[in-house]
Structure 1
Amino acid sequence: MWEASFWGFVGGFALLVGAAAGIWLPTSRRFVGLIMAFGTGVLFSAVAFDLTSEAYDRSGAEAVVLGLLGGALVFFIGDWLIDRHGGHRRKSQNGSPEGAGAMALVLGALLDGIPESAAIGVSLVGGGSVGVAVVVAVFLSNIPESLSASVGMRKDGRTVTYVLGLWGAVLLASTISAGLGYGLLGSAPALVIAVTQSFAAGAILTMLADTMVPEAVEHAGALVGLVTAIGFTCAFLLSMTA
């Protein structure tokens, strides 16, 4: 469990790296959009080869379908509720709509980050080593997520303390989620592990389509598709050699 928590911390620490870059480094909208596109491609690969494929190998198609649809539905409902309270632009560099609540931003960040971290912990189940590709995917995708959102929050007038505190809280939750992902499933049947893996995959996939891709396209335009494919390719090669 401690190893899983450590790797969850490593993946989540990128949130603070991205937040610091968004606060103190000059970054163009286009650059952030392209970095977000690369992270999207990396996560697509992790979902396909390190979560869904492994879940299928563990327990077959039924577990995968159940988990994917369950994860997608839970994320969709949670995201819909957060959107209604002003959190639907939480990854935008342009800031949130007037009246967006701080709690919506916090819950939105948690909703986006916890499935990724739980996937890191699940990758250790069965006595294997940590899924390197999953950790790298989470790390690389977290940087543009928090960078873009932090730029937007600063435009909204949020203080540096607030922004860093928000991502620090998400980092803590991510670390705990990774540990729980392993601790609760360490001796679970293969079916339960497979459903959990694909559940995380479904939630991540829905998050990518709902928040990451639209923001990347808005800020970087037509190049997003190409850069996403490059990110996918890099992560795929890592998955095959790790």
Structure 2
Amino acid sequence: MLESLLWGGVAAASLLVGAALAVLRRWSDVVLGSVLAFGAGALIASIAFELAEEGLSVGGAIPVAIGLALGAVAFFGADRLVRRIGARGRGGAAGLPLAVGSLLDGVPEQAVLGIGIAAGDGVSAALVVAIVVSNLPEAIGSSADMLRAGSSRAHVLLLWSAVAVACMAATLGGTLAADAASPEVKAGIDGFAAGALLVMLIDAMVPEAREKAKDWAGLATVLGFAIGAGLSLLG
């Protein structure tokens, strides 16, 4: 339990760090886009070499496939709902959809982290790196939007603190679920996280990285993938 809380806190803290960085100074789009692209590459490697591979080895193809479909549909529906809320929002609501999106993809990511710890596989360095690097630009961008819309610094930091606590709790929840779940359920959770992340990558993360970083996005993505794949293989 303590190990889950520790590593869940390390991964989730990147959200609060991103918010603090936005409060301290303004970052260029090229920097944000490059970091976002790097995180996307690391997440792709994590999906391929951690989530999908682990799910197939633990519970087989059918639970993973079901989880993939459920995760994709769940994130797609939740993301559309968040966008509608953001479209109707005014003033301080700016940036809120991105914050909620971070919660939606952060919970399954960190639940999988907790499952790996419970299974005795140790901490997935590739997954931790992917979570941290993808969290930072999301938190910075959302916080910057909210600050420009008139939200106070305290409000922004409190919001991201709440999101970080929820994600950290998901790591503990993943550990508890893994202790009681069958191999098929564990494989389904791996698939669910992979499906949700794939939709998030294609619909939000990659397009935003390309828009902000321009020609640097592709190189940063490949670098992130290479490092993520290397960490997965070393782990």
Give the TM-score of the pair, scaled to structure 2: 0.92
TM-aligned CA deviation for residue 102 of structure 1: 7.9
Q: Counterpart in 1 of 2:112?
A: 119
8 Å CA contact 1:34, 1:220 repeated in 2: yes
- Alpha-carbon RMSD across the aligned residues, in angstroms, is 2.1
Distance in 2 separating the partners of 1:43 and 1:156? 30
Change (3 A) 1:82 1:37: same
Which residue among 118, 129, 138 is the counterpart of 2:122?
A: 129
SS at match of 2:173: helix
1:30-60 C-alpha deviation (Å, 9 max, x unpaired): 1111111111111111111111111011122
Change (3 A) 1:103 1:29: closer
Q: Counterpart in 1 of 2:226?
A: 233
Distance in 2 separating the partners of 1:17 and 1:204? 22
Change (3 A) 1:87 1:110: farther
Q: Counterpart in 2 of 1:169?
A: 162
8 Å CA contact 1:85, 1:101 repeated in 2: no
Q: Counterpart in 1 of 2:79?
A: 79
Question: Given residue 12 of structure 2, which amino acid in structure 1 is its aligned partner?
Answer: G
Distance in 2 separating the partners of 1:26 and 1:101? 17
Distance in 2 separating the partners of 1:231 and 1:104? 25
Identity percentage of aligned residues: 40
Question: Given residue 84 of structure 2, which amino acid in structure 1 is its aligned partner?
Answer: R
1:78-98 C-alpha deviation (Å, 9 max, x unpaired): 11111111179xxxxxxx876
Distance in 2 separating the partners of 1:71 and 1:159? 34
Change (3 A) 1:101 1:29: closer
Residue 36, structure 1, aligned to residue 29, structure 2: no
In the alignment of these two chains, the number of paired residues is 235
Q: Counterpart in 2 of 1:4?
A: 4
Distance in 1 separating the partners of 2:99 and 2:115? 24
Q: Counterpart in 2 of 1:56?
A: 56
Distance in 1 separating the partners of 2:36 and 2:98? 19
- Which segments of 5 or more consecutive residues in structure 1 lack a partner in the other structure? 89-95
